[in-house]
């Protein structure tokens, strides 16, 4: 996962709590579950933010967050899983294969 992923997860949990969609206890259960998956967070995202990711965001009209995910898929030669149509189009434009999302 792109280096921004832990912040995206934390923000989603905070928003869920603030909107009364979940509780702190439920958020903690999700964190325990996510940590059990052994997800690898990319350590190069920050170093690439001002160059590759910024340029990719510009060229593909993506947010920095989406560009970070796309850059990681490009660099690692991995398929990208997304439901976002704009990110799907950008992946196709740069030759990144899409993973199927149920």
Within-domain flag for 76:
yes
Q: Bigger pLDDT: 27 or 100?
A: 27
- Per-residue pLDDT of 34-69, as tens digits, reads 999 999 999 999 999 999 999 999 999 999 999 999
Cβ atoms of 72 and 81 closer than 8 Å: no
Instruction: Give yes or no: residues 31 and 63 share one domain.
Output: no
pLDDT digits (tens, 9 = 90+) for 1-40: 999 999 999 999 999 999 999 999 999 999 999 999 999 9
Whether residues 57 and 90 fall in one domain: yes
The pTM is what? 0.80
Residue 67 lies in a domain: yes
Its domain, for residue 67, covers 49-94
Determine, yes or no, domain membership for 84.
yes
Both 23 and 57 in a single domain? no
Return the axis-axis angle of helices 24-36 and 5-18, rounded to nearest 10°: 160
Q: Are 91 and 25 in contact (CB under 8 A)?
A: no
């Amino acid at each position: 996962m792109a280096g921004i992923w832990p912040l995206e997860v934390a923000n989603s949990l905070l928003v869920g709590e603030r909107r009364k969609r979940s509780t702190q206890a439920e958020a903690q259960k999700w964190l325990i579950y996510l940590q059990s998956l052994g997800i690898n967070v990319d350590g190069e995202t920050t170093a690439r933010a001002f160059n590759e990711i910024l340029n990719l965001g510009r060229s593909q009209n993506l947010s920095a967050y989406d560009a970070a995910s796309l850059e990681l898929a490009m660099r690692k030669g991995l398929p990208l899983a997304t439901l976002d149509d704009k990110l799907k189009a950008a992946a196709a434009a740069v030759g990144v294969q899409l993973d199927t999302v149920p």
